[in-house]
Amino acid sequence: MVRFNVCIDIGGTFTDCVVSDADGRLEIFKVPTTPERFEQGFMDALSQAAKHYSLALPDFLRSCERIVHGTTVSTNALVEGKTVATGFLCNKGHPDILTLREAPRKRCFDFRLDYPTPYVPRQLTAEVGGRIDALGNEYEPLAETDVRAAVERLRRRGVQAIAVCFLWSIVCPTHEVRAREIIREMWPDVPVTLSHELNPIPREYRRAISTAIDASLQPIVSAYTGALCGALAENGFNIDHFLVATCTGGMMPPDAIVAKPIFSVMSGPTLAPVAAQNLATEPDVVVVDMGGTTFDVAAIRDGRLIVSIEAMIGDDMLGIPKVDVRSVGAGGGSIAWADVAGMIRVGPRSAGARPGPACYGLGGEHPTVTDANVLLGLIDPGNFLGGRMRLDRGAAVSAVEALGRTLGLKTIDTALAIHTTSNHNMIAAIEDITVMEGINPRESFLVVGGGAVGCHIGAIARELGITRFMVPRFAAGLSAFGGLISTIKWERATTLFTTADDFALDAVNAALEGMRHEGAAFLERAGLRPDAQRYEQVFFGRYEFQSWEIEVPFETADGLLRVADIEHLTAAFHRLHERKYGVKDEEDRVEFVTWKVRAFGIVEQPLKDGGGVKTVHAVAPEGQRTIFLDGFDRPVEANLHDAEKIRPGGVVEGPAVIADETTTIVIHPESIATADARGNLIVALD
C-alpha cells in the first residue's frame, strides 16, 4: 500500500495541502479556506488529494503515515479579539502586572497615544493573599478563602478560563497548585493554566501574559482540535499520527497543543523558514511568504532559525520564544483604497476567502492586489488554479476603475499603482527584519513562497539589490512543505539560580535529568524510535548585576554535568556574550538563572534530491502575452511557459511568465531563471 505524508496549512484565503508519496514525489493542492468552519476546508483539501490519487477519502487517510497541520485558529482569535473571557488570579497587591507590562518602550514620547488596555481587564482580575519568597520559602500562607471568593465572582462574571500567576511559583509552585485544586473542586469544567507549568521564567509580566493568553485560547483550540480529530477518525485516520505545528518551528501531538495552545500561535508562518532551511545551502537566507492576506518575513543566520523572545501580539508580548516571523497586511487579497489626502494605500484590510477579490466573482467589490495583477496581465484569468477556478476580469476592471476615479488615474495606471504600492509595503517588511537589525539584505539569499509572491518578487529583489533568489517548485505551499520536514519538538525550562563560584551541581543535574526524562516520554508517546531522538541543552546566564540573560547551548556526554564542566559553561557564556555584544568580562561573576532541555524527533525527509544538474538548456516558449511591470514605462511582451514542462537544467530568460497550477512567476527583463535538480527556479538578476 502506498504510504503518504501530508501537511495542511490554513491561510487567510486558501488552504494548502502538500502530499509526499513513498517515492518522495510531492503534489500540492489548494482549496478555499472556510473561516466559518476551518475544519471543513481542512477536510476539503484532503478530499481533493484523495481524488487526485483515485482513492476514496477513508482509503487515502488509512494510507497516510503522518498528517501535520499548521493552524491559524489561535492567531485569528488573538488578532480579532475573539478569545474567551478569562479570569486572572495574582498575588494581593499586584493586580496591575498586565497593565504596567514592562513599561511599553515604543513611541514613548507620543503624548497622543492611549495607554493600551490590559489583556485581562481589572474586573476579571482577582487578588489572592499568600506569598512565596525568592528562595522558595512560604512567607505567608495561601489565603484559600480569597481563592474561593475569586472563583465564585469570576463564575458570575461569565469567564470561561482561569489563569493563575503567583510570585516566585517558579521556585516553589505549591500555592499555584493548591489554587488549581480549589478551582477544580468548585468548578471542575473550567480550564486552568498555571504559570510555573507553562512558562517557568523569572520575568513576571512575560510569565503572566503568556499564562493569560494560553488560558484564553484553551476552549477555542480544544474545540477546534477535537472537531478536527473527530472528522479524521470518522474517516479512518489514526489520530496517533496527527501532529500540529508550533511557533517554535516543530510539531506536537494534538493533546500537547490542547494542553498548551499558546504554542500554536503563528504556527503556520513559522514553517516557511523551516522549509527554506531544507531548500537553501547558503547560511544566510531571507524567507518571504506572500499569501492571500499577509506577507510574512523571516531570516536564517548561520543556518539557524532566528528565535525571538519578544514576539508581540497587538499591544502585548506573547511571553514565550517563537521563530521570528513578521507579518504585514500585503497579500493577494489586500484591499487598495484612497486615504483622506487622496493617496493610494494597500492593506492591511483583506478581502479574505469570503468574498475574496472582486475577480473571484463571489461578491467582492473592493479592488485588491490580485485584481490589479489580472489587469496587468500577470495572472491568466482562464488558468487560475490550473483552470479549476476562472476569474472574472470584468469584475476586476470595475473594482479598479472605481478606485481610479477617486485617484484621478486611468484604470491600468491604477492597477500598476496598486501593484507598486504593495511591493513597497513588502520591501519595508523585509528591511525591518534585515536593515533594521543590522543585516544587509544584499548579502543574503532570498527564498520566496506563497501563491501570490511570484508576480512581485522580481521587482522587490531588484529594488533591494538582491541578485539571486529561489522560487521553490512548491512555492505556493512553502509553509505546508515546511510541515512535512519539520521535527517533532518539545522543550521544558526550570529556573534554578546558581553561580560559577558556588555552583549547585547536584540540583542542576537533578533538574536536567528530570526534564530529559519528560522529553523522552514525550517522544515515546509521539512514536519516535530511540535512534530518531535528539536532545539539546541550554542555560540562560548573565553577568552579576545585569538585567537580562542570554541563551547559551552546551553539550555533555550523557546529559549531566561534572565539576570540570562548570569552567566550560562559564567560558561558553563569555564567548557568546562577546559575539552578541562585542565585549566580555572574564573577571566578572557569571550567574546561571534558567535551564532548558529540548527534545527533538527527527522525521524522514520526504523530498529526495535529484542530484546535480549536469547540463542546461533553453526552454522554448509556448506563446506571448502583453504585461505591465513595475519600473517600466511601457507594456512588455513576455514569453509564456508552462512550469510543468521546465525540467532540471531548463533556462528561461526574461521577460517571461511561468504559469503553474498554484502560482504564477514573472521573470523580469535582464533576469534568467534556471531549474535546479529539485525543480526549484534559481533566478539571477543582471
Model confidence over 95-104: pLDDT tens digits?
999 999 886 5
Tell me the pLDDT band of 119, cut-offs 50, 70 and 90: very high
Among 70-79, 107-116, 166-175, 585-594, the least confident range:
107-116
pLDDT score, position 2:
61
Q: What dihedral angle (degrees, nearest 10) is formed by the CA atoms of 130, 133, 137, 140?
A: -20
Model confidence over 630-656: pLDDT tens digits?
888 789 999 999 999 999 999 999 999
DSSP H stretches of helix in 552-624: 563-581
Tell me the pLDDT band of 558, cut-offs 50, 70 and 90: confident
Cell of 532: 530518531
Q: What's 605's DSSP letter?
A: P
Given a contact cutoff of 8 angstroms between Cβ atoms, the answer to whether 172 and 134 are in contact is no
The average pLDDT across 121-130 equals 97
Model confidence over 433-457: pLDDT tens digits?
888 888 889 999 999 999 899 999 9
Which residues lie below 8 Å from residue 92, measured CB to CB, with a gap of 6+?
127, 128, 129, 130, 143, 146
pLDDT score, position 607:
55
Tell me the pLDDT band of 304, cut-offs 50, 70 and 90: confident
pLDDT > 70 fraction of the chain, expressed in percent and rounded: 97
From 368, 319, 363, select the one nearest 348 (Cα to Cα).
368
Q: Give the residue with greater pLDDT, 614 vs 600.
A: 600
pLDDT score, position 664:
93
Given a contact cutoff of 8 angstroms between Cβ atoms, the answer to whether 458 and 671 are in contact is yes
Phi, psi of 317 (to 5 degrees): -75, 145
b (16+ CB within 10 A) / e for 562-587: eeebbeebbebbbebbeeeeeebeee
DSSP H stretches of helix in 526-618: 563-581
What is the set of domains in the chain, with CATH numbers? 83-216 (no CATH), 334-424 (no CATH), 431-481+610-685 (no CATH), 487-601 (3.30.1490)
pLDDT score, position 330:
87
Q: Give the residue with greater pLDDT, 472 vs 614.
A: 472
Phi, psi of 496 (to 5 degrees): -145, 100
pLDDT at residue 610 greater than cutoff 60: no
The average pLDDT across 374-401 equals 92
Which of 72-81, 189-198, 237-246 has the highest average model confidence (pLDDT)?
189-198
The average pLDDT across 460-478 equals 93
Burial class of residue 212, CB neighbours in 10 A (0-12, 13-18, 19+): buried
pLDDT at residue 115 greater than cutoff 90: no
From 214, 217, 227, 218, select the one nearest 37 (Cα to Cα).
227
- CA atoms within a 13 Å half-sphere pointing along the CA-CB vector of 659: 22
- CA atoms within a 13 Å half-sphere pointing along the CA-CB vector of 207: 23
3-state secondary structure (DSSP) of residue 532:
helix
Q: Give the residue with greater pLDDT, 611 vs 259.
A: 259
3-state secondary structure (DSSP) of residue 221:
helix
pLDDT at residue 344 greater than cutoff 80: yes
pLDDT at residue 410 greater than cutoff 90: yes
Q: Give the residue with greater pLDDT, 76 vs 219.
A: 219
Model confidence over 210-261: pLDDT tens digits?
999 999 999 999 999 999 999 999 999 999 889 999 998 888 899 999 999 9
From 657, 655, 659, 653, select the one nearest 673 (Cα to Cα).
653
Tell me the pLDDT band of 189, cut-offs 50, 70 and 90: very high
The average pLDDT across 365-371 equals 96
The average pLDDT across 528-540 equals 90
pLDDT at residue 286 greater than cutoff 70: yes
The average pLDDT across 527-552 equals 91
3-state secondary structure (DSSP) of residue 107:
coil
The average pLDDT across 3-23 equals 89
pLDDT score, position 531:
84
pTM for the structure as a whole? 0.87
Given a contact cutoff of 8 angstroms between Cβ atoms, the answer to whether 496 and 510 are in contact is no
From 590, 505, 597, select the one nearest 555 (Cα to Cα).
597
Instruction: Please give the Cα distance from 626 to 527 (Å, whole number).
Output: 54
pLDDT at residue 611 greater than cutoff 60: no
pLDDT at residue 517 greater than cutoff 90: yes
pLDDT score, position 569:
97
Instruction: Please give the Cα distance from 333 to 351 (Å, whole number).
Output: 5
Residue type at 568?
H
Residue type at 209?
I
pLDDT at residue 383 greater than cutoff 90: no
Instruction: Please give the Cα distance from 62 to 236 (Å, whole number).
Output: 6
pLDDT at residue 612 greater than cutoff 80: no
Cell of 94: 499586584
DSSP H stretches of helix in 157-248: 174-186, 195-198, 204-234
pLDDT > 90 fraction of the chain, expressed in percent and rounded: 69
Query: Can you count the helices (H) and strands (E) in the chain?
Result: 17, 36
CA distances to 77, 519, 676, 684 from 670, rounded to whole Å, are 45, 52, 20, 9
Instruction: Please give the Cα distance from 686 to 683 (Å, whole number).
Output: 10
Q: What's 560's DSSP letter?
A: -
The average pLDDT across 309-320 equals 86
Instruction: Please give the Cα distance from 563 to 573 (Å, whole number).
Output: 17
> How high does pLDDT run on average in the chain?
91
Which residues lie below 8 Å from residue 642, measured CB to CB, with a gap of 6+?
622, 658, 659
Given a contact cutoff of 8 angstroms between Cβ atoms, the answer to whether 21 and 1 are in contact is no
Tell me the pLDDT band of 121, cut-offs 50, 70 and 90: very high
